[in-house]
Amino acid sequence: MPDHDAALDQLIVRLKTRAADPERRADVIVDAFSASARTMDLGSLLGMGRSVAGSLNQLLGEIRTTGMPSPQSRATADAVAAAMGTPANPTLAAPATPGDVDAVEAELGGRLPTALRRAYLEVADGGFGPGAGLLPLSAALAIYRDYRAESPGPRRSSWPAVLLPLTEREPGHYCVEVPGGRVLDWDPEDLREHSSEAAWQRSFSEVAATAEAWLTAWVGSRTQAEETADMLARSQVEEARRSRAAIAAMTPEQRAKMGLPEIGWERVVWGGIGLDEGEPGG
């Protein structure tokens, strides 16, 4: 047990470190514009869409007629761009209170897994973790109550009494069993109103045997943005390799027409993507 306690302490330290970084505290960073849209009813959402579309059309019209947007249109476009590039919650939430945890445990009739409990009480009340981050406990409890009152699944299905939604993962959630501790991925994408009970059960799949294992795997993982950046970098390198092979097959005269020096042209190719000559794979 002492070894396990030390490992759990270390996990909490690592979670705090990653959660403190706004660019890494979740796999998917929700921007302020999207977060605002999520809180709107359908009428408000449609109204916002019309407003943005109208502003865009006005800006494009001004560019077509005068060659440049008006200061007002530019300011509107800059404000929208800023909202879409700004994290919705740049400041990490305060830790949950024991009362927040007690309310969830009383509702579900069991104790939250220790690692998850400590993460909420010692790191933050949501906003960090897999997907778009753990839900605040009050939000998780509200979703649970809604699902218990009216199942989001097929007719005659019931939301499991032991399953607490933890994160929003479109179109479903990561959830934790309370008690029990397994973490499940609920994916309703293939469900229909008249889907069978078997299909309803198949929409839940285990992703981790324990919440501790789930959080440990996440804290050592890369964000979606980091993965995308790596993919783009690999793509650039492959393109540079193809270009180098094609240019190597050219005559000196052909390279000269491209403005490439005969000595050191490879350095120019690699330098164009910020790499040293021959760095990736020689």
Q: For residue 80, what pLDDT is reported?
A: 60
Residue 30: per-residue pLDDT = 64
For residues 91 and 106, is the Cβ–Cβ distance under 8 A? no
Query: What is the pLDDT of the chain when averaged over all its residues?
Result: 85
pLDDT of 54-78, one tens digit each?
Answer: 777 776 776 777 766 787 767 776 6
Q: Are 265 and 252 in contact (CB under 8 A)?
A: no
pLDDT at 281: 46
d(CA 118, CA 165): 17
State the pLDDT at residue 89: 60
- Separation CA 282–CA 268 (nearest Å): 15
Tokens of 113: 């897994």
- The residue ranges of the chain whose pLDDT is under 50 are 280-282
d(CA 103, CA 136): 12
Per the CB < 8 A criterion, the answer to whether 213 and 222 are in contact is: no
- How far is residue 182's CA from residue 213's CA, in Å, rounded to a whole number? 9
SS3 31: strand
Distances (CA, A) of 138 to 37, 97, 100, 124, 184: 20, 11, 7, 13, 20
User: What string of DSSP letters covers 160-215?
Assistant: -TTEEEEEEETTEEEEEETTT--EEEE--TT--TT--HHHHHHTEEEEESSHHHHH
Domains identified in the chain and CATH numbers: 32-85 (no CATH), 91-219 (3.40.1580.10), 224-271 (no CATH)
Quote the pLDDT of residue 169. Answer: 86
pLDDT at 12: 98
The runs of H, that is alpha helices, within the chain are 2-19, 32-38, 42-66, 71-85, 98-108, 114-118, 137-149, 197-202, 211-219, 224-248, 252-257, 265-271
